[in-house]
Amino acid sequence: MVRAVSRWSVWRSDAGRFWATRERPFSVVAEAAGAHRTVDGDDLGELCRVIAEQESLADMAALP
């Protein structure tokens, strides 16, 4: 989990939902592929899965 969120700032909203924002923006190519800089989840497990999905999208978008 630590590796998944090392480049992300994580917080919990007043409503109890977990949110994360990537500290650095994704590339234009990654954003065009659907990577989102700010994501949320019902719990930390879901949030980590969503973060991993965003990083995976960005990695795939960077492939030649």
List 20's β-bridge partners, or say none: 10, 39
CA dist., res. 9 & res. 30, Å (int)? 19
**The pLDDT of residue 54 is above 80:** yes
What is the pLDDT at residue 6? 81
Q: How many domains are contained in the chain?
A: 1
3-state helix, strand, coil in the chain (%, to 5): 45, 20, 35
In the predicted model, is pLDDT for residue 2 greater than 70?
Answer: no
pLDDT digit string, tens, across residues 11-48: 999 999 999 999 999 999 999 999 999 999 999 999 99
Inter-CA distances, 32 with 17, 28, 50, Å: 26, 6, 17
Nearest CA to 38 among 3, 7, 1, 62? Answer: 7
- Report if pTM > 0.85: yes
pLDDT surpasses 60 at 52: yes
Q: Can you give the residue range of the structural domain that contains 48?
A: 2-62
